A and B are shown apart, each in its own frame.
Chain A
C-alpha cells in the first residue's frame, strides 16, 4: 500500500507543479496570504459559529500586528454541509479558483481525514482544527497535515489521570456508536486497566448518535450495578441522558467520568440539571484568569457581545498556529511550509503550544476538572490544565502508530 502511494506521489509531483506555480509566483509580492477554510457551518452550528467568531478575532489581531512577514492573512471560508465529499470538492475550488496557499478547518473526523487525504494528493498544507480522530495524525498521518485539537486518545488519557485515583472497580461505559465513541472507550479502558489491573468494565451501552433512548440506557447501566460510569455522549444525547439519569438516580453514589462535558457547548444546555462532581475535560471560560485568556475573553466579549466557547478557542488558536507556521517556513512552497509547521510554537488562550515534529499533533492540552452547579448553571471547578504533550504515548509507540511517518 505504501509503495503505491509513494509512486503515486512522485507521479503527482509533476502534475501539481503546475498547480503550485501560481502560489510560487505570488509568494514574493505583498498580496495577502490566503487560507482556504472549510467547516460544517450549517450542519454543526453550535460549535462552528463560535469557532468562526474565534478565527475572525484572531485574523483581526494578526493583521493589526502587521500580518506574517509583512503580508496580511486572508481567510476564504466554505461550508461543507457536514459531508466529506463536499469538503473535498470545495477544497479543489479553493485551491484552483481562489488560489489559496493552504487549507484549514474541519469539525467532523471524516471531513478532516478526507481533507488530509486530499492535501497529500495535491501536496498542499492542511491544518486541521477540531477533528478528534487519532487516525488523522497516526494511522493516516502524512507530511502535509497538522492538527491543533487534542485527539481522542489525548482527551481519554487526560481523564484517566483522575480516574485512576477513584476507588471504583466496576465500570460501565456509554458512548455513541461510531468511530469516535468506540476509540474513546477503547483508549480509556486500555489506559485505565494498564494502571489499575483491578478495574473491570462490566457493561457497555452504544446508543446511536443523536438517537439515544436515554431511559432504557440509564436502566441498562443501572442494572449492571456499577461503581463508576464513563460517558462519551455529547450534545442532545447528553442532555437526554443526564435528565433521565438524574430522575432515575443513576448518578447517585457513583463516580462519573465524562469526555468533553466541561466544554460550554455541551455543559450549558444541561442548565440547572448539571450533575455535580463529574470528572470532565472541558473549558472553564469564566474562571480561567491567566493573562492570555483574560485578554482573549475580554476582546471576544467586546467584539461579539457573547462569551467564548470551546469552538472560539479552537478558531482563534488555529489562525495563530497558522501564522506561526508560515512565519517559520521561509517560503510558501508546500515543502517549505511543511517543515515550517514542524515544531512551530504558537500562543493560545490556554497557553503556549507547538506542533510536534514527531506526529504533527499540537501539544495544546485541555482542562481537567469537576462539574458543579453555580447560580443554576453548570460550571467547571477544581480544574487544572493538562498539557497535551504530557499524556502522549512514548515516541517509539507513536512511530509504530504512524506508519507513513514523515
Chain B
C-alpha cells in the first residue's frame, strides 16, 4: 500500500511540521522554565510575528536575502514587544499567587486580537510567494516543497544555536541555574529582572520566527493565536516543561505522528495530539525529558489558613441570598435569565476553586465536566425521554463517575502537568462532541432540552438555579470545612507529611476531583435546561479559560473568591459584549487593570483592605 517513496514524503512532511512546532514551543518552554509564567499570550506573539513578518517581507525584495532580513527584523521586533510585555506587565505580578500571571497573559490575548484586527484588517494575509518559495524538489516521482526542506534544515540549526547559548555562555548558565532554582540564583546576587526580561524577549523572538515561517505555506490570520498556542502547550508539556531537548523530541514525535496519522485515521487528527499528550503524561508524569519540579517551583509555597467566614461576611452573604431569592419579584425575564447564568457560573467557578484552591489541582480543562453534565442531561431528554429531575441527577453523576475513572491518572501528577492532562481530556471530549456528528449532532448541538413545566418560566427556573447553585456552592464549602477539607489542604501543602501521618492523599485528591467534577456537571446540566440546547462550545478551551478567569479574578486563596469572580466576570463580559464592538480590547484591559490593582484577586484584595483596618 504505502511505498518507499510515499514513506519518505510523509517523513519529510512530518519533519517540516515538527520544525514549525519546535520554533513556537521552544520559546514557550524557555519562558516557562525560567519565569514559571504559563504564557497564554505566546500564540498571540506568534500571530504578531506572522503579521509583522508579512508587512516587512512584502516590502523587501522577493529574494532569499530579503526574506531572511525580514525574518530577522521580525524577530528583533518581537523581542522588543516581548521585553515590553515583561517589563510593563508580568514583572509586576511575579509575586502574585501561582498561575495568576496566566490571567494577565490572557488579558493580553484578548487585547491583541482586537489590536491586530485594527492594524491589519480582517482578511487573511497570504504572503505573495516568489518563484524560489514555490520551488520543489523531485523525490521518486513526487514533488516536495523546497521551502519545507529549508524549514527542516533550520530545525537542528535553531536547536543547536539555542543549545550553545544555554550551555556555553554565561547568560545561558544563569538561565539554566534560574530554571533549577530561582531563589538560589537571586541569593547569589544575579539581577533576576534583567534575566527574566531577556528570557522573555528571546522567547518572543522565537515565537516571531515561528510565525514568519508559517507565512510561505499558510497565511497570517486572526485565528492563529489560539490554534498555535494549544499545539505549543502540548509540545512543551509532552517534552517536559522548561526542557529544550524535550521540546525538540516532542515536536518530532507529534509532527511525525500527525503526518502518518492522517494516512491511517484521517478523522481523528484533532484528538490524536491530545491522546498522545495524555498517554505520555500517564506514562511519564513529567513529560519525556522533564524533571520533577525542584525547590522554589510551583509547589511548596506557604498559604494562609482558611478560617470560617467572619460574622460580617456571613451576614452579608445571608443578605445577598435573601436579595437573590426576592429578585424574581423585582426583575424582568431577561434580567432573570442573566441572573440564572450568573448563578450557574458561580457554581461552575466554585467547583473549579474546590480542586484548584484547597485541592491544589489546577485544571485547564474544567469545561469538560460542565460539558459532560450538559450532554448527560441532553441525552437523558432525547435518548431516554427522561423528565428533568432525572436529567439533573444524571448530569453530576455522569461527570463525577467519569472524573473518578479518569482522575486516577490525574492525581498522580502535579502542577502544570496535571493541568495539561485535564486539558487533554477536555480537548478529546470536545473533539468527540464536535466531530462525532451522529451521536452528538456535532457543532449543531442538541436542541429542545427545555425544563419541566413547573419551572419553565424565567422565575421558576431562576429559583431552581438559585436553589441548586447555592446548595452546591455551600455544599462544597461545607466539605471544605469538614475534616475532609482539612486533610485535602494538608495533602496539598505537604504531601509527604500528610502521608506520614497516615492520610491516603491520593484517594483524598481523587475524591475531591470527582466531587468538583460532579458540581461542575450539575452546573452544566442546569445550563443545558436554561438554554434549551447543548453545544460543543460548552466544552471548548475558551469555556475552561472562563472558569479559570473567574476563580483567579475572584482570588484563589479565599472562599468567597470564586463567587465574586463569577459574578464580576460574567457581569463584565455581558455588559461589554453588548456595549462595544471592541469588547475584547475592553475586557482584556479590564482584566489587566484588575491584575495589577489586586494581585490577590477581588476577594483577596478586599480581605487585605479589611485586615489593614483591623490589625489582628
Binding site for B on A (CB under 8 A): 1, 5, 8, 11-12, 15, 19, 41-42, 45-46, 49, 78-79, 81-86, 88-90, 92-93, 95-97, 108-110, 113-114, 117-118, 121, 133, 135, 140, 177-180, 182, 204-208, 210-211, 213-217, 219-220, 222-223, 235-236, 239-240, 243-244, 246-249, 265, 268-273
B91 adjacent to chain A (CB < 8 Å): no
Q: A45-B122, A92-B334, A214-B217 are in contact. Are A236 and B581 (CB under 8 A)?
A: no
* Stretch of B194-202, B262-270, B478-486, B495-503 at the chain-chain interface: B262-270
Chain A residues with CB under 8 A of B262: 205, 207, 213, 216-217, 219-220
Chain B residues with CB under 8 A of A84: 445, 533, 535, 537
B338 adjacent to chain A (CB < 8 Å): yes
A223 adjacent to B269 (CB under 8 Å)? no
List 15 A-B pairs, Cβ < 8 Å: A42-B113, A114-B447, A117-B448, A121-B532, A135-B444, A177-B270, A182-B437, A211-B270, A213-B258, A215-B145, A216-B259, A219-B10, A240-B219, A271-B126, A272-B128
For the complex, what is the distance from the CA of A227 to the CA of B270, rounded to whole Å? 28
Chain B residues with CB under 8 A of A240: 217-219
For the complex, what is the distance from the CA of A140 to the CA of B126, rounded to whole Å? 39
A42 adjacent to B444 (CB under 8 Å)? no
B437 adjacent to A216 (CB under 8 Å)? no
A118 adjacent to B532 (CB under 8 Å)? yes
Partner of A114, one of B222, B382, B434, B533: B533
B16 adjacent to chain A (CB < 8 Å): yes
A219 adjacent to B13 (CB under 8 Å)? yes
Across the interface, name the chain A residue whose C-beta is closest to B12.
A215
Chain B residues with CB under 8 A of A265: 123
B334 adjacent to A97 (CB under 8 Å)? yes
Chain B residues with CB under 8 A of A219: 6, 9-10, 13, 142, 259, 262
B441 adjacent to A89 (CB under 8 Å)? no
B266 adjacent to A205 (CB under 8 Å)? yes
Chain A residues with CB under 8 A of B145: 215, 244, 247-248
The contact string, 1 if C-beta is below 8 Å from chain A, for chain B 413-438, is 00000000000000000010011010
Q: How far is the CB of B590 from chain A (nearest CB, A)?
A: 16
A215 adjacent to B532 (CB under 8 Å)? no
Chain B residues with CB under 8 A of A83: 535, 537
A1 adjacent to B448 (CB under 8 Å)? yes
B36 adjacent to chain A (CB < 8 Å): no
Chain B residues with CB under 8 A of A220: 262-263, 266
Specify which of A204, A270, A271, A272 lies most central, judged by the most chain B CB atoms within 10 Å of its CB.
Answer: A271
Specify which of B148, B453, B456, B537 lies most central, judged by the most chain A CB atoms within 10 Å of its CB.
Answer: B537
A46 adjacent to B124 (CB under 8 Å)? yes
Q: How far is the CB of A225 from chain B (nearest CB, A)?
A: 11
B82 adjacent to chain A (CB < 8 Å): no
Q: A84-B535, A84-B537, A113-B445 are in contact. Are A216 and B10 (CB under 8 A)?
A: yes
Q: A96-B332, A216-B10, A244-B217 are in contact. Are A239 and B129 (CB under 8 A)?
A: no
B444 adjacent to A133 (CB under 8 Å)? yes
B16 adjacent to A215 (CB under 8 Å)? yes
For the complex, what is the distance from the CA of A271 to the CA of B128, rounded to whole Å? 7
A45 adjacent to B227 (CB under 8 Å)? no
B412 adjacent to chain A (CB < 8 Å): no
